Amino acid sequence: MDYREAGVDIEAGRAFVKQIRTLVQSTHRSEVMGGLGGFSGCFQLPAGYQEPVLVSGTDGVGTKLKLAGELNCHDTVGIDLVAMCVNDVLTSGAEPLFFLDYLATGKLNSQQLTEVVAGIAQGCRLAGCALLGGETAEMPGFYQPGEYDLAGFCVGIVEKSQMLDGSQVQVGDVAIGLASQGVHSNGFSLVRKIVSTLSEQTLPSAPWNICPEILTGKSLGKVLLTPTQIYVKPVLNARRAGLDIHGMAHITGGGIPENLPRCLDVNQSIQIDSSSWIIPPIFQWLAEAGQVSIDDMFNTFNMGIGFVLLVPPEQAEQIRHWFDAEGITAYAIGQVIEGNGSILGIPQGSIS
């Protein structure tokens, strides 16, 4: 017996690394040292920092990967993977420098996984960070045929004096919500539960291919696979242009109620106005199809707001227009008030 008979094809793994080499190199920054294939990736810190602070983050894509597998569409989940990490790192004011991925599968499918890595490379280019390296693990018997899992790891850098840690946030600051591109990468266990329940009753055998009228002609699967928005470049460019940002929050699992308080200082809360932005139709469909309460919707999904900036009131309109010009719709969604870290204004009832 040999390793191939046990289900692991070393030669196929080597061929896969060669196949993705160009994708990886397309993301490299000038600070990258060495090439693909070493035991580790090396990165020289950028010049010009007086007190550099390294900021790290790690995340995955979750059960959205199930949907990608069912639709046999694997070119966007890599963007999700990068986005979930770099947007988290960004909340400290850090510029993402490099990214590492871990990709595990039962049996190496070169075409499928090349699509995944192409998405990871695209996400890195959108964030301006280098895909420094990664690991592809072939684990027969651990995953079902065609299944894979992803994890990502990002390191960024920020000048210590420019780091955001909540202490800069002031009562009276305005919360500017940056629009999401849809569901992003959270809440898919609930999404899949809703669709599976409906498919047993009224939906066809291929429910992801249906086109609910509320989604304006797009299939449900296509809408749900829209990747997570990467906010890195517009936000960093805004700060470099002298716009004053006191705090940031990435709206992921737990929605606005769980994530927005994480960027506040002590004895602060935020009063939001949920009527100040347009909730995308996909959330309306999910709420109606699954009979999900508005409270549960806000505690599960981003509800159309993927990232929030806390800014001084005198700059709120200028900053909102800045992001509109960058192609990201921005809304004034609330204000910092005195409080105990809670988010006030989450609506009750049903979505209208």
309 Ramachandran zone, left/alpha/beta (phi>0; psi -120 to 50): beta
Report yes or no: 106 and 145 within 8 Å, Cβ to Cβ.
yes
Across the range 113-123, mean pLDDT stands at: 96
pLDDT tens profile 166-200: 999 999 999 999 999 999 999 999 999 999 988 87
- Domain check: are 202 and 61 in the same one? no
Mean pLDDT of 230-256: 97
Q: Does residue 48 surpass a pLDDT of 70? A: yes
- In this model, does residue 9 exceed pLDDT 80? no
Q: What's the whole-number mean pLDDT along residues 57-67?
A: 96
User: Is it the case that residue 132 has pLDDT exceeding 70?
Assistant: yes
Whether residues 27 and 114 fall in one domain: yes
In a domain, 167, yes or no: no
- pLDDT for 241 equals 95
168 inside domain: no
Q: Is the residue at 349 inside a domain?
A: no
The answer, yes or no, to whether residue 2 has pLDDT greater than 70, is: no
What pLDDT band is residue 203 in, cutting at 50, 70 and 90?
A: confident
31 & 92 share domain: yes
Q: How far apart are CA 265 and CA 168, in angstroms?
A: 8
- pLDDT of 70-115, one tens digit each? 999 999 999 999 999 999 999 999 999 999 999 999 999 999 999 9
* 267 falls within a domain: yes
Same domain, 150 and 229: no
pLDDT of residue 36: 74
pTM: 0.94
Residue 201 has pLDDT above 80, yes or no: no
For residue 137, what are the domain limits?
A: 10-162
- Find the CATH number of the domain harbouring 21: 3.30.1330.10
The one-letter amino acid code at 256 reads: I
Say which residues have a Cβ less than 8 Å from residue 350's Cβ, sequence separation at least 6. 287, 293, 294
Work out the mean pLDDT of the chain and round it to a whole number: 93
Q: Find the mean pLDDT for residues 315-319.
A: 97
Contacts of 46-53 spanning 24+ positions with Cβ under 8 A: 46/97, 46/157, 49/157, 49/159, 50/159, 50/160, 50/161, 51/159, 51/160, 51/161, 52/157, 52/158, 52/159, 52/160, 53/94, 53/157, 53/158, 53/159, 53/160, 53/163
What is the b/e burial string over 53-91, where b = at least 16 CB atoms within 10 angstroms of the residue's CB? Answer: bebebebbbbbbbebbbebeebbbbbbbbbbbbbbbbbb
- Residue 338 is predicted with a pLDDT of 97
CA distance 3 to 45: 40
Name the domain boundary from 142, 162, 182. Answer: 162
Is residue 255 situated within a structural domain?
yes
Contact 62, 95 (CB under 8 A): no
**How sure is the predictor about 349, in pLDDT bands with cuts at 50, 70 and 90?**
low
pLDDT of residue 12: 76
Q: What is the pLDDT of residue 213?
A: 84
**pLDDT value at 8 more than 80:** no
Query: Domain boundary at 136, 162, 188, which?
Result: 162
The pLDDT, as a whole number, for residue 35 is 76
Does residue 271 sit within a domain? Answer: yes
pLDDT the model gives residue 3: 66
- CA 182 from chain center: how many Å? 11
* CA 41/CA 132 separation, integer angstroms: 6
Given pLDDT bands bounded at 50, 70 and 90, which one contains residue 352?
low
Q: At which of 116, 139, 162 does a domain end?
A: 162
End-to-end CA distance of the chain: 63
